[in-house]
Amino acid sequence: MDCRSQFWCRPAWHCHCCYELGRWPLPHSVSTRCVHAKSNRIYNLSNVLTLSRLSVYFQDTNRNFVERGWDGSGWYTGGLKISNQPPRASLGVTSWGESGSSLGIRVYYATQDNLIKEKAWDGGGGWYDGGFQQRSIPGSRVAAIPLPVLRVYLQNGTEVSGITEYAWNSGWVVGQAVLPPA
């Protein structure tokens, strides 16, 4: 089983969900890891669903990136839909803020022409196309971390398969051309 989805949770959670591609609602056998950002305590999916709000971003069986939300009493379809993406395309999500005007969500996704693009949500105004767009190698994964400096990581072909860091500094700049191997 491959991790293809990320949870975005409020207020201070970093969660990832592994499940079989296209299975919705999430099966009971889902493998989940949710880590509270302040305590670093690990929770399973049943603990996460006790939160009042939760959003899940994933690729559905029609190859669309979609958003599903939990409002404390049931699942609903969110406002994000990115149509006709390559099968098993990369997806990365990050967020900051609690709710209302302080809430920021960024979804980074791979396109059929090997670009990593951004969808953004700022304070309830709806989803819009963000300014991030970078060429990647085929099959590159994407990851992002939030403030104080928003950073995006992907493979763009530098030194064959090195991971490049992009940072927001009043515009997107290369933070680290090639990160050293772990």
pTM given for the model: 0.72
Q: Quote the tokens at residue 24.
A: 């919705």
Q: In this predicted structure, which of 46-55, 67-76, 107-116, 147-156 has the lowest mean pLDDT?
A: 46-55
Whether the per-residue pLDDT at 177 is higher than 60: the answer is yes
pLDDT digits (tens, 9 = 90+) for 26-61: 433 334 444 444 454 544 444 444 456 778 899 988
Host H or E run for residue 34:
strand 31-36
Q: Quote the tokens at residue 54.
A: 């939760």
